[in-house]
Amino acid sequence: MSIEIDVLNGDASWQTAEGVFDEVWPPQVLEKLPWGNVVFAHADLRVFVRAESGDVACHVGIFRREVTWNGRKMRAGGIGGVATREAFRRRGYASIAVDAAVQTMKHEGSIDFALLFCEQHNAPFYQGRGWKPFDGEIYAEQPSGRARFTAIAPYVYDLKRAPRQGIIDLCGLPW
């Protein structure tokens, strides 16, 4: 018996992701979150971890985006929608899925840095896995227009570049 890791097209696998999201972030939970009203981009790829039972246990979305860092064009790899169904937590599945997402970005070869956004209580999880806080400002699009994005804090995983400060413009919706 073993777990299975799949990296699938984001749109084609949306229904599977939606099942995980509905369980992890039901409307009554979502409405209380600092990012509950944010409009997010759709993932380009999705990592799914299936438990030995065959159940989908964990999801991580992968985003690719031309962003700017201090006005210079860069290719960012985004990670978002990190979620493990409650019954499958603390078995290392999110660690495996985030690692698979970072490996996917590394293999692409063209991504300058990875970027994710998380609530404060999850920061130690990412910092323990090599992610560093980005202390600058993030700008992103929303239906109301371009604005500073402060709902959740940015963390960077260094690839070719190691941004820590300055201004990152996501040049689109956040993830």
Ligand X SMILES: CC(C)(COP(=O)(O)OP(=O)(O)OC[C@H]1O[C@@H](n2cnc3c(N)ncnc32)[C@H](O)[C@@H]1OP(=O)(O)O)[C@@H](O)C(=O)NCCC(=O)NCCS
Where do contacts with ligand X occur on this chain (CB under 6 A)?
Answer: 24, 58, 82-84, 89-95, 118, 122, 124-125, 128
In angstroms, give the least distance from the CB of 122 to ligand X. Answer: 5
Residue closer to ligand X by CB (options 110, 133) is 133
In angstroms, give the least distance from the CB of 152 to ligand X. Answer: 7
In angstroms, give the least distance from the CB of 91 to ligand X. Answer: 5
Answer whether 98's CB lies under 8 Å from 129's CB. yes
Answer whether 153's CB lies under 8 Å from 130's CB. no
Residue closer to ligand X by CB (options 74, 94) is 94
The residue type found at 142 is Q
Residue closer to ligand X by CB (options 83, 168) is 83
In angstroms, give the least distance from the CB of 38 to ligand X. Answer: 13
Answer whether 25's CB lies under 8 Å from 38's CB. no
Separation CA 54–CA 58 (nearest Å):
12
Residue closer to ligand X by CB (options 68, 151) is 151
157, 70, 171: which is closest to 105 by C-alpha?
Answer: 157
Separation CA 63–CA 80 (nearest Å):
8
Q: State how beta strands 45-50 and 56-69 pair.
A: antiparallel
